[in-house]
Structure 1
């Protein structure tokens, strides 16, 4: 931004005839008028195009990308993701923590933009209603109804924990609704969810999505590089998926087995998917 080339006199009346501003110039009473502050800025813009490109008056507005990725990995967040995934983390997708964070993560990771969380909720309700019998056989009628109640909201404001995204039950619905390989990461354990129905696409076209549960009350998205470990398959998928969906796991079997072996060695043998909750 540069100053006007000529000094502007602010005292008295201009001597001589006043030259009217043409239609091609800025539409203000005079080239030298100081009565409207905006004219000073407008004249600078005309005389020196591009000198004020950051102004709100600029007609071309830069729209931020729908998918927000924070390249600076927060140590506090990383500590809550199993260390074996750290070398493969490209970025973390941080979303607003208003009770809709899980659905915001799904929307952001699908390149819809996190503010499309109502669409995600509605899509999950539609899937649940379409295959209600299947989900009742998996979760039970009472829990299936509870899931539907948790998905339904009547406003776009913050909500309590009764409306949060819950894992593992909603993870099955997410994977099936969007036909994605859905991974959940947490220090307490990691799982992978495949669609319960529908034939898989060729492996090269598979969409993979990962979310991490942090701070005991918040979800963030995790963008992983190729070759990352594959968590253990969610237990109920094996017994409840339809026949046409059984090959979803095939391209990942070797990596899942490798991760299982890693957990076995790390925890000193035994089934890593079993946690002893006895007092002893």
Structure 2
């Protein structure tokens, strides 16, 4: 426009005016898209209060931040809250709390800047007579149209109105009775090799299972009392967190002589405690060398995923704990037990390959957070 000195002020003014009009139309078009167009990533009822009321740019930032919830959860200390401090949008720890609570994102947590989807100036107090926001005529016409339609048309119109009135609801309904899936796992706890139908239970299944177990624990029976007094209970059971004791099958202990022999190295003698296996220093070394998921159930509890391979549903999970302050034991857990959080090193040096492990075990990681929040 101003690339050369040819022309006069009138032509330059017209060119600037045309550019401003073009930008204004683009902004208005983006507002209309935010009103009526819904991207596939925002179809979930989790965004129900935000669709049509918040700009799509804000929804995209929230969707990207939601991916961090898989390995941050609701921990405010780990979340740097950059999105909240820089853009006034909910950050990962806030989204994690909404996810655990099963509630949609409230619109009040989004700054008013992202909710302004119009170029019009707000009217002064007392200047509005109510005619611009009056919906009486529109509602009357809507009722007339509803009465004039047949049954199919009434259902279609009602579904459209319900989408506006109940943005967080979904028209999908659960089946009236539980369906028998073909080819499912027949026996609990047994998973055939190379069985591609088997999957990790979802987060909601973990919550249902936890609520059922809590109800059973609230009504103790004679059988449960006998189990508590049984000699088959592992002798180290009280050295584990309370919320995972029900998932422990047994503890593989070693004799004291075997512990002493393991600490003896030829020509070097017995090794001091500073040369024993320590976590988290050796955790990722074991996970990467043997391509397994290593879980420490001691203090602190932590999970070590392999950092050199991608997620596999048939991976072996080994649980260990440091008992009596002198040796490690192997802990055999029941199928589907919850996993403790990952270490800070994994969050700092994670890669796309490592994230696949956290995504594959999202349900178990979130279940652990749910149990710790309930106990807290």
Which structure's residues are more often helix, by fraction?
2
User: What range describes the TM-score normalised by the shorter chain of this pair?
Assistant: 0.3 to 0.5
Q: TM-score, normalised by structure 1?
A: 0.46
Identify which of structures 1 and 2 has the higher relative contact order when contacts are C-alpha pairs closer than 8 Å and 6+ apart: 1
Q: TM-score, normalised by structure 2?
A: 0.35
